Structure 1
Amino acid sequence: MSDTITATLPLRRWQGGKATYHLVSFTGDEAEALAGHALLQKLEFGRQRGFGSVKVTAAIGDTTWKTSVFPQDKQTTWILLVSKKVMKAQNLAPGDQIAVSVSPV
């Protein structure tokens, strides 16, 4: 499966115990597609990646990077972390609606 998943999502700020993170959350059909890819990986390789993650190539605007998405809520939500470097390159701030795409690799 190498389908690109695209959505317009709000950029959120999450304050952890030791750091602040910026992220977007895939839900609905997009989350189902990512969960399906994770299942295919598990069936093909006989195990899951760390935390059940899926390797992806992500893109926001003209910035592309390799990363992973992580499942939440029994795979009904998938989280993509957005680095400060990407936020600066694309002039993003928490609360912005951003067009983001991920392609499982």
Structure 2
Amino acid sequence: MQLTFTAPLWQWDARQDDAWWFVTVPPDESDLLAEVPLPPRGFGSIRVQVTAGTTTWRTSVFPSKEQAGYVLPMKKAVRRAEGLSPGAPVEVTLRPVDL
């Protein structure tokens, strides 16, 4: 399964001093991820391979009740490499992986 979507970059309000940044996986794509038969992981996370622009990395997406779907952390190195700014739309391609 491979999912491609565009979503805005946002900062987690609870930790502004640490600058935790995310994009929210849209509802339809989040529903598809929730159906992936993977081994259970901490916090209900799913390991994924992600591409944004020319940068590809592995991380996990996490379920979020507040965002009504999964959230994808966007690390500083990726934000810098791709010139991403707060609120900017980010085109993301991700696929679940079993690392």
Same topology, TM > 0.5: yes
TM-score by length of 1: 0.83
- Give 2:81's aligned residue: 89
| 2:25 matches 1:33 | no
Deviations 1:9-38 (A, max 9, x none): 00001233462211001122100111011x
% same residue = 38
**65, 70, 76: which one aligns with 1:78:** 70
Query: Within 2, Cα distance between the matches of 1:31 and 1:75?
Result: 10
1:49 to 1:63, Cα distance in 2 relative to 1, 3 A? same
Q: CA RMSD in A?
A: 1.8
- Give 2:10's aligned residue: 12
Give unmatched runs, 5+ long, in structure 1.
none
Query: Within 2, Cα distance between the matches of 1:74 and 1:16?
Result: 12
Deviations 1:55-79 (A, max 9, x none): 0001100100000000112994101
TM-score by length of 2: 0.88
Q: Give the partner amino acid of 2:32.
A: A
- Give 1:60's aligned residue: 52
Query: Within 2, Cα distance between the matches of 1:21 and 1:74?
Result: 15
| 2:15 matches 1:23 | no
